[in-house]
Structure 1
Amino acid sequence: MKINNNYIMRMLFSYLPILCMTIGVLIFIFFAIINQFNVRNALQANHLTAEYITNMVDSSLKNISLDTQKMIGTGGSLEPFLETPSDKTLDFEASNALSQLMVRYGLIDSVYLYRAQDGKVLDQSNLRPLDQFADQAFVRGVLDQAYTGVWSSPRLKENLVQHSASKVRVTSLGFKVPRDTGSLGYLIVNVKIASLHSFIGEMIDRTITDAQLYDAKGNSFFETGQTPATRSRLSADVVSDYTGWTYRISIKGGQLLDFLFRGSTMWVLFGISAIVLAIGSMFYVTRRHYKPIESILHRIERFSIPIKAAESKGKGNEFAFIDQAIERLITKNMTFQEQQQEHMVIRRQQFLQILLKGEYKEDPSAWEQEWQHFGLSSGHFIVALLELDHYVQFGLKYSPGDQSLFKFIVSSVAVETAEQNGLKVVVEWIAKNQLVILLISKESVGLEHRILHLSEQIRSWVEGHLDFTVTIGIGTPADDEASIARSYEDAEAAVSRKVSVGVNQIIDSIEVTGKSNGEWFEYLEIIRTIVRQLRMLESGWQNELKRLFHEMTVQRLGKDDVNRLMHYFIFHLEYELDAALPEAMKSWQQEGKSRLIAAAEQLDTLGQLEQDFVVTLVQLSEHIETFSQSRRHNALMREIRDYVSEHFMDPNLSLTLLSDRFQISPKYLSQLFKESIGQNFSEFLIGLRIDYAKRLLRETDMTVQYISEMMGYANPTSFIRVFKKMVGLSPGQYRESLLIDRTPNE
């Protein structure tokens, strides 16, 4: 067979675009040589931008410096604090003045005041000795400086956040008080380098412009350890008369443009050489690259008889010949892999269906092979059946591809959650809306408790991360393979009760097996009441516990029923403790839980079981009471928090007002806020006001200025700055985002 060898011509002509590109490059170089004035225009634009940024940054830093000098000058707000002995009122007023300075200038990271007479440092929330202050090394250093009032080079400031040290890059401005001697103290203002970077970034387009800042020694503000690089012809440097810093503005990729704009006769010679080289190499490379193709064609001709027969009709060339051979090979390989994958899925589904139906005994040898094939072993089993809630709406809302993706996510979450808990499970979708979770364990102790805990983790994850919910039915424990079918039937019966019980929850088979609805519901309600009263340290939990055991005695419940109820009791108690009092979980896991499980598993008489439960739960209540008492002033802080939540719009609301009302010092009250809420008073109050402002922006048409006045801000700009710092968007942007997200159905 003779193949039309026209591929060599196609390769030859495919190189023509390279020639066109070469000519285009030469034309570009020609125009680059002619248009040298572009360099001057770019340089002028960069210079103007650098001057503008310099003026804006210097203006902000000067304003900070002027306001700081007013505060420490004669008659300033900080003078009483420095000149008089420590007084809580003066401490609060000084701290409030520092906080107001930070609110006025968003660039400020922190402000603190050193008082010489007692060697203490005051920041926005606390007054502490210098030895206990995180940034004490810098304070000691500046005390020895002869001249102050100059912005420092970038430095790392020590912070102490939640008893752990951290560092942040800042530039600092310090003033002695008084300016000549510093005998009263020292005020330090720290401006965050990241804030400077963001402030400069708002004045330029970072996609095309690069801005760098260097101090007088050449240290980079934005790139740690970097010194000024040799600037290109398209960059502009402006040195600030105020700070002595160097502002460098350049175009991204400017070095390449600078290189291209340097026109000379060298480019002309280079262009001619490029044309000659392109034409000569085009023929050489074409011929050289065609040799491997000839070799491939010869090999295919020996083994692809069907393809050669088709090509003999003259309908293809050598490239089509190779393409058909490779396509045929890939198609066969993909078909084989798909068949293998489908076979494995079907085989696994059939295996599980037979297991759940209890039909494996018909062919024991084949069953044993399947059992070993999937890496399973004998032991104790329990089945949980997960069912998607509102499946009709689920099918209408999502495409088949999305449905498959969500089902894969749910099954993956089940497997990963089991692995995290050290459990071995078999997970498989047996229907469009039902997922079987088969838990396999070598130990029967606590089997039902483990499947309850695993199911709750899966249910809560789906509720928190996906747009739909699931209901999980729990079967009864099975001691051998033959009992798995019964466990599955119980789980299926349990999950079917979601029609009356409700969706998005765990339904244990004890709620539907062997007893009437009212009887089991009464037991479960008593258990929930006991757990709630125990967690809240109410005195009636022991009476409720006695009533539970009395009811079980009167009804003459069997050992299995009592065991299931006790495991539900343990599961619900652990769930409530983990949600409401996580600090008590360690003692519960180490002592209480193991004792209750052992008592339930070693059940002999209800009297002995009740006695074991009472002893263990009394000890647990003592631990809960200890942890609750360790949270100081819980009731008082709850009352204060409610009062602030009710009067947060009062412009006179402050730590001083709360101190007078609740008879507690401002300093200690501020400390309690930090311990109980995790925020200081000002942060908590600002958070309430911002949340209310967001509500007004969502539900009303009030202007930003009117809302700003309602929040107590005389200047709307300050309100906008605080709102953007807390929310990440300006008030206008926040309202616009709500309009964009609102759909017609809403």
Structure 2
Amino acid sequence: MKVNNSYIMRMLLSYLPILFITISVLIFISFSIMNQLNVRNAIQANNLTAKYVTNMVDSSLKNISIDAQKLVETGGTLQKFLDAPSDKGLEFDISNLLNSLVIRYGLIDSVYLYRAKDGKVLDQSTIRPLSQFPDENFVRNALDQPYTGIWSSPRQRISGGFSGSTMVQVSSLGLKIPRDSGSLGYLIINVKNDALESYIDQMIDHTITTAELYDSQGKSFFNADQSVSSSNRLSADVVSNYTGWTYRISIKGGQLLDFLFHGSTLWILLGLSAIVVAIGSTFYVTRRNYKPIESILHRIERFSSIVKTGDSKVKANEFAFIDQAIERLITNNMSFQEQQQEHLVIRRQQFLQMLLKGEFSDDRGSWEQERQHFGLSAGHFIVGVLELDSYVQFGLKYNPNDQSLFKFIISSVAVETAEQHGLRIVAEWIAKNQLVVLLISSESSMLEHQMLQLSEQVRAWVEGHLDFTVTIGIGAPVDEDCSIARSFEEAEAAVSRKVSLGSNQIIDAVEVRGRQDGEWFDYLEIIRTIVRQLRMSEQDWQGELKGLFNEMAVHHLRKEDVDRLLHYLIFHLDYELDGSLSEVVKPWQEEIKPTLAAAIERSDTLKQLELDFQTALALLSAQIVELSQSRRHNTLMREIRDYVAEHYMDPNLSLTLLSDRFQISSKYLSQLFKESIGENFSDFLIGLRIDHAKRLLRETDAAVQDISDQMGYSNPTSFIRVFKKIVGLSPGQYRESLTKIAARGSGGLDDQDGFEKSEEQEDSRSAR
């Protein structure tokens, strides 16, 4: 029997055009989407490039402004020049100072200083009256401006001398001296627009990108006749918060890309229209082809009774199909429930993070919704932060799966312990080594006691059942949900004190609140003493190092403060060794310095840090001693150094006296002094005398005149000038600063001004 397949062929031929149209539309949509993605990537690249260029240029201009502001500070060298009588030497120094600023920053075209007292202008090369200065008009206009310290719009600066002048496009920064009145003078710094353009050109790819810069009024920096216009969709405009200038980054061929962007949208619209037509055609063709099947169904309905009493095997297959469908439905539902549970965990972690940061305080509606979702009723709260001790060793000892298992065990122990006492907590890991425990209670009287009891039980369980320990910091209880962030900050601060208080314990915020962090100046003095004794091969450095760690332990410094001090010790050693003991620099850089840095990173307690530093610095000390013993005339130089240290108060002490006493030429003695000690004789002698003077200023009430006489200075003015050059302060100011520190108490390591002042004093002494 021959089967007629004309119906099947007709069905296929009916749907093939629709299939062809649909596939074509999908191809068009794919190309249009890819085109849009490329355009969006180009826009994003423009934005990123514009922001990067803005940040880099602003950073350079800010650095120039900061250095300029330091120059015009009250009491500085510039003020001496502006206020003191004319002095060729001082004018030469100021000119060199201005020239060093130009050399330091390649963007600077010129720097000049106007002195109001006599109306003269000093630049990098000469000083002349304002009337003879090429840029006279700008200086006079700048003097009338009420505000200074703002970068100007691009302008034409007249440069040159009497033989001729040229016009240079610059942007200027003016600073009054002093800052509030400008009564002494005016400092002007000019940045060349061509240098700005070259600087920006280095940060972009000219093959695909162009850059423009406009001031706040829309005037172009690089094209004088061009002004800012409306940007297209493929260019990025970024306005600097610092200068108010507009940075525009555009892509070459942007008009073509913009056309492609609009064209892709058109293709999508055409594609959607084609899909609608295809769907309509499908319904029409299906309806037309369904008519024969519909006719067959009507015929089957006439024999429905026959179908119902048909073969039972058909019914069995139908029930099997229903069973399979129900099983698939249950499986899909279980998978959906698991996904919902995972989403709930992630949502819980996000909610806790925002709760600890206090981000819901301004959105009460979202806060109430999340609180009801997690069952957090209004009440009283307290936060505890559990931190794994010696986390570096923990990470090296266990693989990631074991680490996750231990963290799950610890959080489960906290939850189960809380449930045993009828407490409600939220416990989540917010960092790789920190678990936050939020205790919620309707009563505030026993809240802190409950948290202490819960924390102690968890700590004891971990110590008794696991191979590592934990330290828990507890914040203060709070009565409002918006204050939970404050309790969390106190708990974090408390647990960070374990570096000085010790690990494997409970640290309450009440125990460390209000404790003084010690005087930063004293810590720096101890560090400098350690470095000096190491450099001079003196064995007393071990006692000084032990004293440093004892001071940090007594004042219970935080981890970040301890790290900061020890990093300063490493920096100071690096600086001293590079300057005076070059032979030790290589083993120091390759072995000892990395060991000290690793010790700071991995150690959790001061005891371990002290042991690591003692071991590493002992190795360094041995190398320095060996080097000192191998140098020529080591014994002789030690005798000379001891003699100088004993008679440094003698006003007649000099290289000539030492040369006669030790039977060695003064020139050769000076050379040996530099090689052995790292300083020339005069600097070493002045350093000893100034250290003694500082001791007298700190420990006695002796007048500056008396101290000057003891130092061997016949004129107190000479003593004050030398003291200020080395220390950075006059003797009176130095004693006054010590009085203020004593009255204020321990300023803590957060007193950044004290830290910077101490560094400036050290730099001043090293500059000798």
In the superposition, the TM-score normalised over structure 1's length comes to 0.32
Relative CO higher for 1 or 2, CA cutoff 8 Å, sep ≥ 6? 1
In the superposition, the TM-score normalised over structure 2's length comes to 0.31
